[in-house]
Structure 1
Amino acid sequence: MPSNNEAEQLKKIMNDTLDISKYILASKDDDEILTHIAKLINCDAYIMDVFGRLRSYSENAKMDASLFESVTHDLKLIELTEPVTLLDKYSIYPLKTMDKLTRRFVVFSMKMPEDLSSQLLIENMVNLLSLESMQVSINVNQVRQRRNELFDTILAQNLPENAFEDTLKLNGLDSNSMYKAFEIDEINSVDTGHHQEDMHRVNDYIYWYFEKLQIPIILISWHFKPFILVETKKSLLPLLNELSKFIHENFVGSKTQIGYTDDAKPLIQFKKLLREADEALDVAKRENILKPNKFIPQQVEDILSLVPKKEADMFVDAILGPVLNLKDDEKDELIELLSYYYADNQSISMAANDLFIHRNTAVYRLKKLEKLLNMSLNDVSDSEQLRMATKLYLIHH
């Protein structure tokens, strides 16, 4: 039977634990929760993420540079599963979570306690913070799932452009934000029945990797493959080389192939980004290219880019003159449709889908263009001239 002193200590621990649990259940922010804990155990408290970044801290906590340097350089946080002492004056406890990539850590400015009552109190605090941390992880996953479902819907339905823009805005996204893209496939398990499970794990690594770099991404599961939109001005190749290395190191036995497009486009054109990345991945798989493979447009575009602007403008005016004389909105509308029409292998349906317009609208505009130019898209010579003129116009304007 416990002594009166032990009973009092146990009662205090239970009361303190209940007090903290009320803070967490009331959805207080982490700084406020840590401040309350710090007062109870008389030390500073911090929360760090799996990259060693400081996320929250108690009020008036000391920012000790040696602590952050030790966490970053002396610990491999992604592998840390047990509490450890740092610099002989801090203790770090991994919080329980659904996977190691989203794990967070609570740090106290004291050594790990030796007496059982203090150990029990700290253990209770860590368990409560783990529950809160797991809820944070669940919320993050819900946001990711909603975005995936959003783009699944857009891919499955031909939404009007204004409806797409409004939907993006409601989900905190800007249709004009510039993105690059890549697609990745893990080829060892395609025929084993584990392919989908393996790709879910790869998705987690992709999120973890870009979170570490603080680069926003949107991940879409498309045809059982991750398709990733990356909001960055940087070249994707160095990032993808490191990502591929990271996956191979942490995903034993994997053999991934990546196709990417380094040509940034506004989010409203994500379907075109998807198609370019998918085409680059198809080439990588067909030719067994294991390094990230860049989308390269047809060689004719590279050749046309060498044509001097003066000569290019003369050819464009001769072919597209009546279109160029239209009002800007109408002119841009027709040239954009032509561009997508040829990029989509002269498929009116695919071009209409990419432009978020009805197929009948695309048909009407193309017929109007044929009449205006006195040319026919069904005539091989006319169509080739229109293709060249459209490409030259887009290269030089």
Structure 2
Amino acid sequence: MNIDNNQFEILQKMAKTIHKPVYLYNQHGRILYTSHTMITSPEWIHLLPFFRSRTNHSFSMIQVKQTFSVFPIDLNEQTCDYLVIPSFIPPQNKALHATIAKAVNEISIARMRQYAALQTTKRARNEGFRRWIERSSSSQQDAPRLAQAFGLNVESSYLCIICQLDQLIDAAFFKKQQMVLDQVIDLLDSAIASSPFPAFLFVKGDTGVVLMEETGSWSEMSDRLISFLKQLQILVKIHVNHTISFGVSLTGYPIPHLSEGYSEALEALQAGHLSSRTEYIQFYQAKDVSDLLKLIPKKDVITFHQLHLHPLSEPSQADQSLLHTLSVYLETHCHISETAKRLSIHRNTVIYRLEKCEELLRISLKDPDATLRLRLAFRIQRFLS
């Protein structure tokens, strides 16, 4: 949640009034404002989470010989931002404390309103996503329109990544469990901005769902994706003192078919859970030829299909009996009599048609490699349709 213009002006005015650098950062260490634009990632920012408190406080770092004054800005009962001034504010300086307190109060009111409005928007967005992914409110034709409303690129494909807390707290402590989940989601929401690929976070039940845009081949994306997910696991362990696991879809899916990617990611997450592991990253395991075909670029799949079956599909071969006979012949494990029985034709007719297929395809149906390629080509035909 970035600051708006009004908050920016309040912070800028305070920095000028007190003649000291001013920083605003969220509870996860993300800088929201700095009066010193040349300093965007000071080293001390990584230590601040260990000094968090809901009351005004200060601490010193021997390495940099610097004292920091910290002023929490409450957003709700478990979330707050922090105003940080890299200087010691003497308690006896009443005027300075009053100036800072006034600015903190103004920022706090503005941030709470902004946070409440943002949470309302997120709840509506997450509900819309839930209904969409469950296909309870939209058809595939509606998907591009809804995707645009969520900020997704309708021309892109998206990997689906589902994350969940590893050890859910006992149901009797539902409120505490929900608070932990909210902290994790808030942390992921803050960290998603540093994703190596365009990513969008949604919440569905007790899981977080990340849609990550597929910007290249799996070999190009895999290392950076895994590294990013591991970083998220480390962040959650440090900031929330819990572990999370991820289930990832087999491949990216276009907008109208994202529900398939969601199902794969959910199955992967459950597979990891059944193995009694924690803090895992589980990818969906291909179980069928169609799953493996999804990993191959579509143009290559089409080329393979055309290469091996096109001579039987040309306009000059308008009679589809050759193609159908060959398909049934392969399905019956190359049994001529069974093929004739299924097609209700004479055995000699089957033999004639198969010889014609061999002539057109320039192969021998006695060659096991040739029949394997034909079986795969027919499987691709069903996959493409």
The verdict on a shared fold, with TM-score over 0.5 as the criterion, is yes
Aligned residues: 314
1:221 aligned residue (204, 217, 220)? 204
**Is the contact between residue 159 and residue 252 of structure 2 (CA under 8 Å) also seen in structure 1?**
yes
Q: Which amino acid aligns with 2:119?
A: N
Q: Which amino acid aligns with 2:84?
A: V
- 1:109-141 per-residue CA deviation (whole Å, 9 max, x = no partner) reads 653143334323322321221222222322332
CA-CA distance at 1:388 after TM superposition: 4.3
- What secondary structure, in the 3-state scheme, does the structure 2 residue paired with 1:263 have? coil
**Residues in 2 aligned to 1:73 and 1:188: alpha-carbon distance in whole angstroms:** 27
2:12 aligned residue (20, 35, 58)? 35
Structure 2 unaligned blocks of 5 or more: 216-220, 333-372
**Residues in 1 aligned to 2:28 and 2:282: alpha-carbon distance in whole angstroms:** 28
- What secondary structure, in the 3-state scheme, does the structure 1 residue paired with 2:154 have? coil
2:110 aligned residue (108, 114, 132)? 132
Structure 1 unaligned blocks of 5 or more: 1-23, 326-369
Residue in 1 that maps onto 2:232 = 243
**Is the contact between residue 49 and residue 239 of structure 2 (CA under 8 Å) also seen in structure 1?**
no
Is 2:151 aligned against 1:172?
Answer: yes
Q: Which amino acid aligns with 2:266?
A: D
1:49 aligned residue (26, 30, 41)? 26
Matches within 5 A, 1:87-166: 88=66, 91-98=69-76, 103-108=80-85, 111-113=88-90, 114-154=92-132, 155-157=134-136, 159-166=138-145
- What secondary structure, in the 3-state scheme, does the structure 2 residue paired with 1:205 have? helix
CA-CA distance at 1:162 after TM superposition: 3.8
**Residues in 2 aligned to 1:205 and 1:386: alpha-carbon distance in whole angstroms:** 50
Residue in 2 that maps onto 1:300 = 289
Matches within 5 A, 1:184-333: 184-186=163-165, 188-189=167-168, 192-194=171-173, 198=177, 201-209=180-188, 211-214=190-193, 215=195, 216-222=199-205, 224-231=206-213, 233=215, 234-235=221-222, 236-252=225-241, 256-261=244-249, 263-290=251-278, 291-298=280-287, 300=289, 312-317=305-310, 321=313
**Is the contact between residue 144 and residue 255 of structure 2 (CA under 8 Å) also seen in structure 1?**
no
Is 2:42 aligned against 1:69?
Answer: yes
**Is the contact between residue 180 and residue 264 of structure 1 (CA under 8 Å) also seen in structure 2?**
yes
**Residues in 1 aligned to 2:290 and 2:150: alpha-carbon distance in whole angstroms:** 36
Q: Give the % identical residues.
A: 17
- Per the normalisation by structure 1, the TM-score is 0.61
CA-CA distance at 1:280 after TM superposition: 1.0
- Per the normalisation by structure 2, the TM-score is 0.63
**Residues in 2 aligned to 1:311 and 1:85: alpha-carbon distance in whole angstroms:** 67
**Is the contact between residue 189 and residue 195 of structure 1 (CA under 8 Å) also seen in structure 2?**
no
CA-CA distance at 1:263 after TM superposition: 1.9
- CA RMSD for the aligned pairs? 4.6
Residue in 1 that maps onto 2:345 = none
- 1:194-224 per-residue CA deviation (whole Å, 9 max, x = no partner) reads 46863663353144135235133222315x4
**Residues in 2 aligned to 1:75 and 1:90: alpha-carbon distance in whole angstroms:** 9
- 1:220-242 per-residue CA deviation (whole Å, 9 max, x = no partner) reads 315x4433323465433333333
- What secondary structure, in the 3-state scheme, does the structure 1 residue paired with 2:211 have? strand
**Is the contact between residue 45 and residue 107 of structure 1 (CA under 8 Å) also seen in structure 2?**
yes
